[in-house]
A and B are shown apart, each in its own frame.
Chain A
């Protein structure tokens, strides 16, 4: 992390929450498992083999389970902030903001739900790119966009009603356009980004909050309030959440926007975008349409 990067997230708090979650993660791992599964599927379309791979934010090694024999991975190095999630190895305790790996160490780097609490996302992506070998692949997924908008809205309104004050309740998140720009800035070739919304339903907002704690995904925003919320505020927030969002079955939805990013470490033999003006067929012909000139020519402005 470079100096001058604003501190948005409290990494020490995140580490403590991960350590606490490690003991009972199996009871709260379905969302992680679902996203890991979707990321692993991305390898189905890739012909290249990846003998040495890295699993960032490994949470006990579910990814290895989900991957099976895909990608030709022979060694999967695991890293997490919490020791309880790393063993059995090979693995290290490490921080995405300060990756402890030499340049060109890996053919493939995965990050499943590990980058939304990173202060310096451009720096973390640069370090990931640096750890990749030429033509190595990075596949990552993190929460972004409107993740947990129902909860943050209910908490905000309850707090303002009951305490007459506001504190930052949910984390600042990246959106799809940020992600695309960041991948490019980090020097990835052929970057692809997309966003999928996963809606999870819960019996009530307290079940959601328990699950967030179990996943170590409660707010670690540096500007969050440190004192406990008043019971009255939490109950009011739950009431608002139910009133606004409960379905006919009484269950409540929680939105998770999952941003997926993919990019390659540049290599000479990679597929390159075609040179501008090198096409030898007309788009209008392909579309069977009549072409109307706009009067502009390439390079005329």
Chain B
């Protein structure tokens, strides 16, 4: 079964709660990536979890991968 998708209108207005900077949507990993904060916010059942302490910290590779993709 396909993952429930995030409302596209919602994606347009979401920013990183920490930096208020832009996010890139990693559809495969179901994550919203904040390059500036080096955090990846998970999307669970189509709901973005925009909590700093639920986010995955990115190493340098993660940041490089997300910036080259976005």
Contacts and interface: CB of A to CB of B under 8 A. Distances in A.
Interface in A91-147: 91-95, 98-103, 105-106
Given A100-B15, A100-B17, A105-B13, A86 B50 contact: no
A95 B16 CA distance: 12
B50 A94 contact: yes
A92 B9 contact: no
Contact of A95 (B12, B17, B48): B17
Contact of B9 (A75, A83, A98): A75
21 contacts: A12-B53, A83-B44, A83-B45, A86-B47, A87-B45, A87-B46, A87-B47, A89-B7, A90-B7, A90-B9, A91-B47, A92-B14, A93-B54, A94-B17, A95-B17, A98-B52, A100-B15, A100-B17, A100-B48, A100-B50, A102-B14
Interface string A248-263: 0000000000000000
Interface of A: 12, 15, 75, 77, 81, 83, 86-87, 89-95, 98-103, 105-106
A206 to B, nearest CB: 33
Interface of B: 6-7, 9-10, 12-18, 20, 44-54
Contacts of A101: 13-15
A90 B51 contact: no
Given A93-B48, A94-B50, A94-B51, A100 B14 contact: yes
Nearest to B21: A102
A83 B49 contact: yes
Contacts of A105: 13
A2 to B, nearest CB: 12
Contact of B50 (A75, A92, A102, A106): A92
A102 B10 contact: no
Contacts of B17: 94-95, 98-100
Which 9 interchain pairs have the tightest Cβ spacing? A98-B17, A100-B50, A90-B7, A105-B13, A100-B17, A94-B50, A93-B49, A90-B10, A92-B48
Contacts of B46: 87, 89
A286 to B, nearest CB: 48
Given A101-B13, A102-B13, A105-B13, A89 B47 contact: yes
